[in-house]
Structure 1
Amino acid sequence: MRRKNFILTVLMFLFVSILSMAVESANFIMPNTNMKTIDTDFQEALKDYKPNLENVDKIFNYIEKNISEKGRAVFYSKLEKGKNEVIVTDENNNIIYIEILPEKLIKIIPHFKTKEMYQLKEGKTFSYIDYSTEMMGKNVIIKSETLLKNKMNKKDAIEILNKLRDSNSFTKNSISNIEYAKSECYDEEGNLLFTMKIKDNKVITEAQKTINENIIKMIYIVNDVNTDSGLMETYINGKLASIMKMKNSLPNGEAKIFYPSGKLLSIFTLENGRTNGISKVYYENGKIQAIYNFKDNVQDGEAIEYDENGNVVKKVLYKNGKIIK
């Protein structure tokens, strides 16, 4: 059963990595939630927040005036938690406006400081943002550039702000207006944690780490601007190791694991991150090696193992993870 133990170990490793990646992806797209699990609290806190439209006027006037006169507009923002304020200043540290935030929202939003730059490229708004904040308990720096499909205007901005209370609507409206975007997230030592790209209404988040001298790269591909669902690809030392469907930030649906040669190693089904149903394991030559049955991540049902000639070498019946026959 050594082979079986190896397969189960690989599956568990991939589960942990994928869940971690899914949380990071969700946080990156909606950084102010800090963790997707507090999204409900975040949405509840937003009910008390009504953007000051006078401040929207001030920043738009500032951007348009500076782009017209200098070709670009640069300003800075920072959160003063003790005062429940977001302070926005120009390049000379003159205050452009101060936005008061509800206390509930202040408690959820991590600290942040930003430097923003706006300019026009062929009539379309291009922006660059250097964003210092906290994510998953760590201080991080996010460098982001975005090219909109058209020139940013006050009406569209106000409409998006008014949809802040509905995270799905807010994200959809934000992403659908983007022609191209790229963001990179670094830790305090300058190590790249992950990147995100947006193009053609598709969000692709990539993360890479080294584990036991192996380079693990994970790519989270989201379609239809649904940031909770998509496809997760895992690469080990540059070779595709697994493909898993994601829904609600958890593995859901068919999943496949591959040998370094690219041949199929295993195929199984996940429901909310748990293995359910039939799991098949293959020899590298494509012949079936084993068939297992799972229920909520534990073996439940018949387990059959085969040799490379297709002969049954072991047959066991499980119930709640225990052998009963």
Structure 2
Amino acid sequence: MRRKNIILTVLMFLFVNILSMAVENSTTLSDTIGLVNPAYQEVLKDYKPNLENIDKTFNYIEKNIKEKGRAIYYSKFEKGKNEIVITDENDNIIYTEKMSEKLAEITPYFEAKQIYQLKNGKTLEYSETNIRVLDKKVKIKSETLMKNKMNKKDAIKSLSLIGDLTNPINNTFSNTEYLKLETYDENNNLFQRIYYRNNKMTIEQEVEGNQAKMIYLFDNTNLMSGKLETYMNGKLFSIMQIKNFIPEGEVKMFYPSGKLLSIFNLKNEQIDGIVKAFFENGKLMGIANFKDGLQDGEAIEYDENGNVIKKVSYKNGKIIK
């Protein structure tokens, strides 16, 4: 089908960018490394938050906000010592935390500055995080306003070295009033913006010279699921359903005019079921069937007058007739 390459190209773009949405608060190691190394999650299975260190950080924040109106501290990964060092603004150590050899081995360069203060009685956090991704330095700036003042229960989720592993998306956004995040490349050029408020996340970035925008509308009961709208150069490009933070269900793609280009279904991150493509005038361009990501069954292509111009039969992605 003529539009097959377009569909696959767009899907690749969407999958890559959906991963980027996981950077909801990249001041913890699990957020940053997990994006580029899925095996990292295996290493974290034996990790347990150090409650004593969390208490030290929480008490430091509370004390400094009360005395100075804000608290500043720094995090740095010492590769040779396999540990994270947390220091105050005068370079005094608040605590150090040893990392397992496996965890240290796959941890990239990591440095962060965090500032905590109160805004209308709610905790406001600003952070600057420097990491290395695929041998390139990346800087992430974020501002997060919580829905209330951070307490010790919140601190266990927010201040742990690795963050909250139980359900990081739901637990982060359930207590977030708004989040603003900007990502810069090694030349300090801004290449991605993320904004979250009221179960709606907007991501903007340049993709191959095009201005791409994604709007993720979270489900009210499960922030891992919802609807994802993608725009290219200000025009609606696609709408898809998200389940457990991956594409699952119906996908619609559109022409720049807003007319429907194609409709298909995703299952287990693969095209599954009937795929229909349309001319811009609304007439059917082609129809095919997919099974587990491979064409399976008859594919028919039509001209703009509705005449059949081609029929091909597939089995497991191979032409049989």
> Fold conserved (TM > 0.5)?
yes
Aligned-residue offset at 1:282: 1.2
Aligned-residue offset at 1:178: 1.4
Structure 2: runs of 5+ lacking an equivalent: 26-30
CA change 1:320–1:172 in 2 (3 A) is closer
Residues 34 and 136 in structure 1, CA contact (< 8 A), matched pair in contact too? no
Given the two structures, how large is their TM-score scaled by the length of structure 1?
A: 0.85
Aligned-residue offset at 1:143: 0.6
Q: Distance in 1 between matches of 2:319 and 2:96?
A: 66
AA partner of residue 21 (structure 1):
N
Q: Distance in 2 between matches of 1:159 and 1:262?
A: 43
AA partner of residue 40 (structure 1):
Q
Q: Distance in 1 between matches of 2:157 and 2:286?
A: 55
- Hey, what does 1:23 align to over in structure 2? 19
* Percentage of pairs with the same residue: 50
- Aligned 1:72-151 pairs, distance under 5 A: 72-135=70-133, 137-151=135-149
Residues 49 and 161 in structure 2, CA contact (< 8 A), matched pair in contact too? no
- Hey, what does 2:211 align to over in structure 1? 215
Aligned-residue offset at 1:34: 4.0
Deviation readout 1:260-303 (Å, 9 max, x if unpaired): 10000111112223222111111212122221122233322122
Aligned-residue offset at 1:82: 1.6
Specify which of 301, 314, 318 is matched with residue 314 of structure 2. Answer: 318
Q: Give the SS at the match of 2:38.
A: helix
Specify which of 218, 238, 245 is matched with residue 242 of structure 1. Answer: 238
Aligned-residue offset at 1:40: 3.5
Given the two structures, how large is their TM-score scaled by the length of structure 2?
A: 0.86
- Hey, what does 2:28 align to over in structure 1? none
- Hey, what does 1:206 align to over in structure 2? 203
Q: Distance in 2 between matches of 1:186 and 1:177?
A: 26
- Hey, what does 2:50 align to over in structure 1? 51
Deviation readout 1:104-128 (Å, 9 max, x if unpaired): 3323333211111111111111111
Please give the root-mean-square deviation of Cα atoms over the aligned residues, in Å: 2.8
Structure 1: runs of 5+ lacking an equivalent: none
Residues 88 and 98 in structure 1, CA contact (< 8 A), matched pair in contact too? yes
Q: Does 1:12 align with 2:13?
A: no
Q: Distance in 1 between matches of 2:176 and 2:195?
A: 11
Residues 25 and 205 in structure 1, CA contact (< 8 A), matched pair in contact too? no
CA change 1:192–1:247 in 2 (3 A) is farther
